[in-house]
């Protein structure tokens, strides 16, 4: 992987990505010093619904984005491939490829409508056939690779524990053992084919009756129920999942402060990293969702909690998040250290993707 350049819009402040950060991601290349603006930009993932305009490409070339999520429904594989080539060319002008991701869960949630999995996770769950799920995920990975996508924000690892769950057909079902088995199979199918998988939505949304994308949500499930819902995430981690997405719901029984999980150090650093032993990239659920967008200094709180990659579905809000995090980091050595650790994990993921045949500069 090439060393990251400073980019045209890099700030004058430099931060050291020291030995501790590099040790946490040995596969990533060492850096002597990283401009603060670039270090902040590595953590931001902004949305795109079609061909990028000049301003968006300038943000990429300036190093203000570490990733792009392709949202909406892309009817043409040729159009998507052309866009990803354009994005990577802009990113490589700054020295390092982008992470480009989509939601390709299966069934109704497919940004590539021409690509598998065509069955919903619920239909695959009723079959309870891990080999079939792994094959479907591998076929999806092949389609993603052809159009220049390297991260799938799937599988959903939530176990349905309410008949009124908003997830519906997006979950493999209500049997935790089946969900755990099929989650691992989906991860293996994607990652054997060189596409990074994402287990979501930690620590679980199976009891939520409304979508966190539409409303602030508090999960008041008993601790025992939440603990059982962690089994599919354990299974994904054992399978080597590269990313885990943390939800924007609050879980008072796991963090008495009532903070949404994405801002909770007890949930992200304590439960996910220390207890479950996850060492990969932690990505937020959308930080422009109602449970997160009104929180002051949201990006800073997320990074301090242990989140590495800050995902947005609004480009305008992602710009605000970048500016807020840059301003906060300029005055906080502790936050700069957290950003260095996040950057090391993100670069380790990019190195894995490159080694698996993904984007390079």
Of 74, 88, 191, whose CA–CA distance to 141 is shortest?
A: 191
Tell me yes or no: is domain 35-355 CATH 3.20.20.300. yes
Position 17 scores a pLDDT of 33
Percent of the chain past pLDDT 90, that is, above it, reads: 84
Position 74 scores a pLDDT of 85
Residue with tokens 């981690």: 237
Given a cut of 70, is residue 254 above it in pLDDT?
A: yes
Given a cut of 70, is residue 291 above it in pLDDT?
A: yes
Q: What average pLDDT does the chain have?
A: 90
Kindly state the average pLDDT of the residues 336-341: 97
Beta strands in the chain (DSSP E): 14-15, 34-35, 44-48, 67-70, 99-102, 104-106, 109-110, 151-152, 198-202, 243-246, 281-284, 310-311
Task: For residue range 53-111, list pLDDT tens digits in order.
Answer: 999 999 999 999 999 999 987 888 999 999 999 999 999 998 899 999 999 999 999 99
Position 11 scores a pLDDT of 33
Choice between 8 and 146, residue whose per-residue pLDDT is larger: 146
Position 197 scores a pLDDT of 98
Kindly state the average pLDDT of the residues 347-357: 97
pLDDT band at 222 (very low <50, low <70, confident <90, very high): confident
Backbone angles phi and psi of 260, in degrees to 5: -55, 150
Kindly state the average pLDDT of the residues 278-307: 96
Position 205 scores a pLDDT of 95
Given a cut of 80, is residue 4 above it in pLDDT?
A: no
Domain-wise residue ranges, the chain: 35-355
Q: How far apart are CA 278 and CA 152, in angstroms?
A: 18
Position 26 scores a pLDDT of 38
Position 132 scores a pLDDT of 98
Task: For residue range 17-26, list pLDDT tens digits in order.
Answer: 333 333 334 3
Peptide bond before residue 155 is cis, with ω within 30 degrees of 0: yes
Q: Given the DSSP bridges, would you call strands 44-48 and 310-311 parallel, antiparallel or unpaired?
A: parallel
Kindly state the tokens that stand for 183. 């989650």
């Amino acid at each position: 992987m090439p060393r990251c350049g400073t980019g045209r819009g890099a700030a004058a402040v430099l931060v050291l990505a020291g030995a501790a950060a590099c040790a946490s991601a040995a596969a990533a290349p060492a850096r002597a010093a990283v401009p603060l603006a670039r270090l902040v930009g590595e953590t931001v993932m902004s949305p795109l619904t079609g061909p990028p305009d000049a301003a968006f490409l300038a943000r990429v070339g300036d190093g203000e984005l570490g990733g792009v999520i392709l949202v909406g429904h892309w009817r043409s594989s040729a159009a998507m491939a052309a866009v990803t080539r354009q994005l990577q060319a802009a990113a490589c002008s700054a020295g390092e490829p982008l992470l480009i991701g989509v939601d390709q869960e299966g069934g109704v949630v497919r940004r590539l409508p021409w690509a598998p999995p065509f069955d919903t996770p619920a239909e695959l769950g009723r079959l309870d056939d891990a080999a079939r799920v792994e094959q479907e995920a591998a076929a999806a990975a092949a389609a993603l690779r052809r159009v220049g996508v390297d991260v799938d924000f799937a599988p959903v690892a939530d176990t349905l524990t309410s008949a009124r769950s908003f997830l519906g057909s997006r979950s493999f079902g209500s049997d935790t053992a089946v969900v755990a088995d099929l989650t691992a199979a989906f991860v293996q199918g994607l990652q054997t084919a060189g596409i990074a998988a994402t287990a979501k939505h930690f620590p679980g949304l199976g009891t939520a009756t409304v979508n966190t994308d539409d409303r602030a949500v508090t999960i008041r499930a008993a601790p025992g129920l939440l603990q059982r819902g962690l089994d599919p995430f354990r299974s994904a981690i054992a399978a080597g999942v590269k990313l885990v997405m943390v939800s924007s719901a609050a879980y008072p029984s796991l963090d008495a402060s009532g903070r949404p999980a994405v801002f909770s150090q007890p949930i992200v650093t304590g439960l996910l990293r220390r207890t479950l032993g996850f060492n990969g990239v932690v990505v937020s659920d959308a930080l422009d969702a109602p449970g997160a967008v009104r929180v002051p200094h949201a990006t800073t709180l997320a990074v301090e909690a242990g989140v590495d990659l800050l995902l947005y579905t609004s480009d305008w809000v992602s710009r605000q998040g970048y500016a807020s995090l840059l301003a906060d980091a300029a005055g906080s050595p502790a936050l700069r250290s957290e950003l260095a650790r996040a950057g090391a994990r993100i670069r380790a993921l990019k190195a894995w993707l490159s080694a698996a045949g993904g984007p390079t500069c």
